[in-house]
Amino acid sequence: MLTAPAMAFRSELLRLLDARGYIHQVTDAEGLDELASRQVVPGYIGFDATAPSLHVGSLVQIMMLRRLQQAGHRPIVVMGGGTTKIGDPSGRDESRKLLTSDHISANILSIRRIFERFLSFDDGPAGAIMVDNADWLDSLDYIPFLREVGPHFTINRMLTFDSVRLRLDREQPLTFLEFNYMILQAYDFLELSRRAGCRLQLGGSDQWGNIVNGIELTRRIDGTQLYGLTTPLITTADGGKMGKTAAGAVWLNPDLLSPYDYWQYWRNAQDADVGRFLRLFTDLPLDEIARLERLEGSEINEAKKMLADSATAMAHGEEAARAAAETARRTFEEGTSGDDLPTLNVPPEGMKVIDVLTKLGFVGSNKEGRRQIVQGAVKLDGRLITNEFEYVRLSVGQMAKISLGRKKHGLLVGLP
């Protein structure tokens, strides 16, 4: 098993992934390169359905499937209807909350709409398919499964995995249920090889061990050669985690986060992140990206707007991206409210300014809201708010704009 080598790739797939910065580790770079040069390679990534939407933290994986399709290969989206019932312990200090089957099914239906924006689910050789691993995991007979798969895993090796060692080192409980997760993920790769001719699993760097497990399990049972490729850990320039902000997760579903707020997330990218994010999260040509990342000073804002426009159009459509950009222009350049700002209805009795900030998602807690007010960062229709106990009271239909700093704005509307 190898880290990504310094080599000239022949296949369009690996050249594309390499040029845009997706490659961290490859199990057999030469073998995968040769295979992708002569045939369509079906490749998959699994997504557990723990919420009705994925967030920006999953976007690099979604984009990897998009790149796979752009290079003429078949993306397989595996929804974890089965594994969500277990919970992936990778990178977690505690067990996930267990969801009902109905809840998981509803989440999968909601998440599919996201993938339909990024992938083409057509009948062609590179047409994307979506499958649910509950189709094979739910019907497993326990004893036959243990006899077929169990001998290929040792407890000694499983205890060395980061997802397990992290919990044990911190003396935090790791249930036998979660301990099974890595076996089930390996079994997914075996099943996908048999059912869909899948030859490649893609994932984040934290999934390397799980991917290797699936490759080795399939080789031992079926003798089939499979491949794995992981991305580097994607963080912001200040070391922050992608997909998380002080106000919460940056969801890809417009029901959970408005296209305007999504646009603003990308518009607010740090200068040092712009070029890398343009390569990873947009389809802009590389020569255009090279031009944009050379911009300095205030001109870098052009690149940030291009990033926001392109990322929002991909996730929510061209019309939503144009509306978000226009709202931002009116808000920042003309000082008007715009029609697409996040909106909050204010009851007749009014609402504390701090509650307004938290309900709009501008701050993550009342404590953070108080701090922002004390620091002079909150304005209501341009008037500085200095009293943390101040109420917003509006007549029926009256509108007001609340701002936190220069980049977060919301529209308040009085209810009858």
Q: Is the pLDDT of residue 36 over 90?
A: yes
CA pair distance 290, 275, nearest whole angstrom: 7
Smallest Cα–Cα separation from 288: which of 277, 273, 300, 303? 303
Annotate 288-336 with DSSP letters as a single string.
HHHHHHT--GGGHHHHHHHHHHHHHHHHH-HHHHHHHHHHHHIIIII--
Return the minimum-mean-pLDDT range out of 24-28, 309-313, 379-383: 379-383
CA pair distance 55, 60, nearest whole angstrom: 10
**Helix residue spans in 180-317 (DSSP H):** 181-196, 208-222, 259-267, 274-281, 286-293, 300-316
Smallest Cα–Cα separation from 378: which of 353, 344, 400, 349? 353
* Mean pLDDT to the nearest integer, 379-397: 83
Residue-wise pLDDT tens digits, 104-150: 999 999 999 999 999 999 999 999 999 999 999 999 998 899 899 98
CA pair distance 26, 201, nearest whole angstrom: 10
Q: Is the pLDDT of residue 279 over 90?
A: yes
Annotate 107-125 with DSSP letters as a single string.
HHHHHHHHHHHHS---SST
In this structure, what token pair is assigned to residue 204?
Answer: 């984040």
Cβ atoms of 76 and 42 within 8 Å: the answer is: yes
- Per-residue pLDDT, 245: 61
Bigger pLDDT: 25 vs 254: 25
CA pair distance 307, 353, nearest whole angstrom: 32
Computed over every residue of the chain, the mean pLDDT equals 88
* Mean pLDDT to the nearest integer, 52-57: 94
pLDDT category at 64 given cuts 50, 70, 90 is: very high
Cβ atoms of 386 and 345 within 8 Å: the answer is: no
Bigger pLDDT: 33 vs 159: 33
Smallest Cα–Cα separation from 271: which of 247, 238, 242, 240? 238
Residue 405, sorted as left (phi over 0), alpha (psi -120 to 50) or beta, turns out to be left
Bigger pLDDT: 340 vs 54: 54
Smallest Cα–Cα separation from 368: which of 356, 382, 357? 357
* Mean pLDDT to the nearest integer, 241-254: 77
Q: Is the pLDDT of residue 243 over 90?
A: no
In this structure, what token pair is assigned to residue 265?
Answer: 């997330």
Q: Is the pLDDT of residue 93 over 60?
A: no
CA pair distance 249, 53, nearest whole angstrom: 10
Return the minimum-mean-pLDDT range out of 238-247, 271-280, 393-402: 238-247
Q: Are strands 399-404 and 200-204 parallel, antiparallel or unpaired?
A: unpaired
- Per-residue pLDDT, 261: 82
Q: Is the pLDDT of residue 335 over 70?
A: no
- CA-CA-CA-CA torsion sign (119, 121, 127, 133): positive
**Strand, coil or helix: 67:** helix
Tell me the range of 92-106, 311-325, 338-352, 368-382 where mean pLDDT is highest. 311-325
What is the four-CA torsion angle of 235, 79, 82, 154, rounded to 10 degrees? -50
- Per-residue pLDDT, 339: 54
What is the four-CA torsion angle of 47, 53, 58, 60, rounded to 10 degrees? 110
Residue-wise pLDDT tens digits, 295-317: 988 899 899 999 999 999 999 99
The model's pTM is 0.78
- Per-residue pLDDT, 1: 46
- Per-residue pLDDT, 186: 94
Three-state DSSP string of 144-175: HHHHHHHHHCCHHHHCCCHHHHHHHHCCCCCC
Domains in the chain with CATH codes: 2-231 (3.40.50.620), 258-334 (1.10.240.10), 343-414 (3.10.290.10)
Q: Is the pLDDT of residue 244 over 80?
A: no
HSE toward the beta carbon, residue 306, CA cutoff 13 A: 21
- Per-residue pLDDT, 165: 77
Which amino acid is residue 157, in one-letter code?
R
Q: Is the pLDDT of residue 91 over 60?
A: no
Bigger pLDDT: 345 vs 202: 202
